[in-house]
Each structure stands twice: as C-alpha cells, then as structure tokens.
Amino acid sequence: MNHLPSTLLHPIALTGVIWLTLNWATARMRGRPIGPRLQAAWGLVSVGLLFVPIGSVSLGRWVESFYPNPSLVGMALVLTLLWRNLTQRELLRPADLRALLTIAAVGGSLLYLNPLWGRAVDFYYFGWRNGPAIWTITALALFLLAVGNRAGVVLTAALAAFAVGALESNNAWDYVVDPLIWLVSLGTLGLQTATAIRRRWTEDGTRKASAEATGERRTEPVANVPRSAPADL
C-alpha cells in the first residue's frame, strides 16, 4: 500500500462531502443557489472541521477509524447525489446510478453472504489474488464504457485507486463495494422494485375498473319489421 494516497484520500473525500453538504443545506434554506464567495467560505470551514477534536483524535481521524475503506462506488454515489442537489446537474444519469447500485448489491451479496453458502467458492479470496479480481473489474468497466454507461468511469477510477493503494485494504473488491453501500444498494433497489410493482398493480386496477365502468356499448337489438307486401296491381 502506498501511504501517501491512503493518507490523502480520506481527508479529501470527507472535505468534499462536508463542503457539498454545507452548500446544499445553505441553498435549501435560502431558496436559491449560493455565490462563489460563500462556497469558498464553506470550503475553508470544511477543512477546519477535519481538525475538530472528537475525544483524543480529530474528526478526520475518527471517521477514518470508523470507516477505513469507503469504496469508490459509494463515494461516487454520495458525491453525485450531493452535486445534483446543489447544482441541479447530473454527474451520473439514472441508468448510471442503477448500474452502480446493481454492482454494489450483487457484488456485496456474493462477497458478504458467502459464509452462508457452506462450502461455496470464497469470492472475497480472489480479491487478494489480484489477477481474477482485476480482470473481472476491468472487463465490467470496459463493457459499461462500450455501452456508454458512466459507471464504467467509476470502476476505472476504482482500478486506478487500487493501483496506487489509496485505501488501507489490499483487496481489490474493497475498492468497488463496502458493507455500507451494499446495504444502501439493497434497500434502494428493493424500494424501487416494490414501488414499480405497486405502480403496475395500481395501473392495472385502474385500467380494469375503467373498462368495467365504460364497458362495451351494446346496442339494443332492433325488432325485425316485416316488409309490407307489394300492393296488387
């Protein structure tokens, strides 16, 4: 592990999250976007907050000890949501976010639920053997980039971070998924699925009720009136 990137990643990521959160909260309270001067001021405040003492350590060190290996996917999701709320611009489109959530949900399930499968293959082990993990992440990143999905850029950043040892972990999977983002992804996808199913049921029920109310208009049968016989000449 390269200690310099590992030392810099946490304060940079934490400063960014604090800065975007302060800007977003201020814009929401004021009801309008904030200017560059206030954004710069919040930037200085965000840096200063890292040194606020929490017990015997600073806030930055406390967060690092509590959450030592935040995945690049998790950081990308947090920063994207904060940036969208702050600037009303999309760093990642809905399709990109769905791809990242799916990767975190499926990948986390394979890694963290593995002990429940008895003698199943230990996928987490292949993260220590860099070959299988790196090739898997690379192939997935290339596929996403080929179809124009920006999640591939996030996976590429995860590979770059692993190459320089930006986290404490030497396991390649930790750069893609972590337990917290795994749980968030499962909850988000589960909620989206339940909402979609409920919407579908509601639409089907509304359509059926509308069809029953209107029905097919049936015309009343017209009585057969016998034609009058032609008059005798």
In DSSP terms, 57 is beta-bridged to 54
The answer to whether the beta carbons of residues 152 and 92 sit under 8 Å apart is no
Question: What is the pTM (predicted TM-score) of this model?
Answer: 0.70
94 plus 175 within the same structural domain: yes
Do 92 and 23 belong together in one domain? no
Predicted pLDDT at 165? 84
Per-residue tokens: 108: 């986390």
Q: Token digits for 156?
A: 């590429």
Which of 17, 48, 68 is where one domain is finished? 68
14 and 110 belong to one structural domain: no
pLDDT of residue 4: 47
On the question of pLDDT at 131 being above 70, the answer is: yes
> Does one domain contain both 95 and 191?
yes
Looking at 68, 103, 121, the residue that finishes a domain is: 68
Alpha helix (H) residue ranges in the chain:
3-30, 36-49, 59-66, 72-87, 94-112, 125-128, 130-146, 151-163, 179-214
Q: Tell me, what amino acid is at 225?
A: V
Pair 81, 194 in one domain: yes
Is residue 222 in some structural domain?
Answer: no
The total domain count for the chain is 2
For the stretch 145-204, pLDDT in tens is 999 999 999 999 999 989 888 888 889 999 999 988 899 899 999 998 999 898 888 877
Query: What pLDDT band is residue 56 in, cutting at 50, 70 and 90?
Result: confident
pLDDT > 90 fraction of the chain, expressed in percent and rounded:
27
Q: Which two tokens stand for residue 59?
A: 């806030």
Mean pLDDT score, 71-90: 81
Confirm whether 221 is domain-assigned: no
Domain that holds residue 35: 1-68
Pairing state of beta strands 53-54 and 57-58? antiparallel
Contact (CB, 8 A) for 79 and 20: yes
Q: Which residue has the higher pLDDT, 166 or 211?
A: 166
pLDDT: which is higher, 165 or 115: 165
pLDDT exceeds cutoff 50 at 233? no
Specify the pLDDT at position 74: 86
| Angstrom distance (rounded) from CA 10 to CA 156 | 19
Same domain, yes or no: 2 and 17: yes
Span 116-134, average pLDDT: 79
pLDDT band at 230 (very low <50, low <70, confident <90, very high): low
Instruction: Note the pLDDT of residue 138.
Output: 94
Encoded amino acid at 25, one letter: A
Assign 228 a pLDDT band (cuts: 50, 70, 90): low
Residue 207 tokens read as 């359509």
Whether residues 92 and 122 fall in one domain: yes
